[in-house]
Structure 1
Amino acid sequence: MGFTEKQEALVKESWKVMKQNIPEHSLRFFTLILEMAPAVKNMFPFLKDSDEIPQNNPKLKTHALIVFKMTCDSAIQLREKGQVVLRDVPLKHLGSVHLEKGVVDSHFEVVKEALLGTIKEAVGESWSDEMGGAWGEAYDQLAATIKTQMEEEAAQSQLSSN
């Protein structure tokens, strides 16, 4: 079963709420990630040299916005095209960056949990299991696509080094 019209509507509805306060939500998003997996801090150049999450770090806000928007766009593309298609960032680039940073499956799970937690807090009483399922599905599809790109990049680099 593909991504349904209802799932897309739930993602879009909650995205409208999230967009109203991206700085706050991005800070919450990264706070949750680092609470769950403190060691990943060093994967983000804009967090590397600080002991805590900087409140007004423009790079953190930009990165969180990219993740939120990419997941939302992914959901919309799942409905429209039946697959993950990104307009702003080439999937090959995402694969190589994630591979270079040493991202593993458990990192994707942490990001998913933080994403869903952030959205749940942001939308308050509008949250439902259905909404969580819609965002979860969109994120899972995006993560699977990035993982495939990572595998392709790893295979290509191995071929190049042989």
Structure 2
Amino acid sequence: MKSSFLMYKLYAVSPQINIQQHFVYHIQSSGVQKKSMANINEGRAFTEEQEALVVKSWNVMKKNAGELGLKFFLRIFEIAPSAQKLFSFLRDSNVPLEQNQKLKPHAMSVFVMTCESAVQLRKAGKVTVRESTLKKLGAVHFKYGVVNEHFEVTKFSLLETIKEAVPEMWSPEMKSAWSEAYAQLVAAIKSEMKPSS
């Protein structure tokens, strides 16, 4: 958790830091090596054990999906305030994020989609987001210039949100299971990151 504290401390001291600087700092402070997100799930299958951990934790979390989705997005914006510019409904808003009536449903929708795709991953053998939704996600992420560092901040925020939601279940194995599920969702989105036709 030391790297998380250092990362938050860095943002408190210097909120102007850009997301690339943050990502490099986080990677350096946590000792994690940066991997290419495009290759992260090559040759890796989502195991039965990983599926069980994801399903068990999602069954506990889903009743609070709205609250957890909002926490997830608030954490993203705490780590990378500049990410707010990626959302048209936040750009010119003076409403505090916690009270933004458009953020709440969006955050819940993204959180539920992410978790549901993780739950279905092993059964389907791939990410199970409707093809039209996946194409739209890819096009929107492309249009707004989403880069690897955005996905990494989102992953960190997702894992921290889940860890806080189910602390008694959290383990290195559960972290690995959710990380793998997220990596496969990101790979599916990235495969569709091209201009909309």
1:11 CA displacement: 1.1
Query: Does residue 138 of structure 1 match 2:181?
Result: yes
Query: Does residue 99 of structure 1 match 2:142?
Result: yes
Describe the shift of the 1:88–1:63 C-alpha distance in structure 2 as closer, same or farther (beyond 3 A): farther
After superposing on structure 2, the runs of 4+ consecutive aligned residues of structure 1 that deviate more than 4 Å are none
Farther off after superposition, 117-126 or 19-28: 19-28
Name the structure 1 match of 2:73: 30
Q: Distance in 1 between matches of 2:168 and 2:105?
A: 27
Name the structure 1 match of 2:83: 40
Describe the shift of the 1:92–1:119 C-alpha distance in structure 2 as closer, same or farther (beyond 3 A): same
Name the structure 2 match of 1:5: 48
State, as a whole percentage, how many aligned pairs show the same letter.
Answer: 55
Q: Distance in 1 between matches of 2:95 and 2:176?
A: 31
Describe the shift of the 1:18–1:88 C-alpha distance in structure 2 as closer, same or farther (beyond 3 A): farther
Describe the shift of the 1:53–1:33 C-alpha distance in structure 2 as closer, same or farther (beyond 3 A): farther
Name the structure 1 match of 2:114: 71
Describe the shift of the 1:40–1:52 C-alpha distance in structure 2 as closer, same or farther (beyond 3 A): farther
Unpaired runs of 5+ residues, structure 1, are 158-162
Kindly indicate which of the two structures has a greater share of residues assigned to helix: 1
Q: TM-score, normalised by structure 2?
A: 0.70
How many pairs does the alignment contain? 154
Farther off after superposition, 84-93 or 34-43: 84-93
1:55 CA displacement: 2.2
Q: Secondary structure at the match of 2:99?
A: coil
Q: TM-score, normalised by structure 1?
A: 0.84
Matched to 1:39, the amino acid is S
Q: Is the 8 A contact 1:3 1:75 kept in 2?
A: no
Describe the shift of the 1:27–1:75 C-alpha distance in structure 2 as closer, same or farther (beyond 3 A): closer
1:52 CA displacement: 6.6
1:117 CA displacement: 0.5
Matched to 1:32, the amino acid is R
Q: Is the 8 A contact 1:74 1:86 kept in 2?
A: yes
1:36-85 per-residue CA deviation (whole Å, 9 max, x = no partner) reads 11111011123222357432334322222222222222223320121112
Unpaired runs of 5+ residues, structure 2, are 1-43
Q: Distance in 1 between matches of 2:133 and 2:165?
A: 29
1:142 CA displacement: 0.4
1:13 CA displacement: 1.5
Q: Is the 8 A contact 1:22 1:61 kept in 2?
A: no
Q: Is the 8 A contact 1:47 1:53 kept in 2?
A: no
Farther off after superposition, 111-120 or 25-34: 25-34
Q: Is the 8 A contact 1:95 1:146 kept in 2?
A: yes
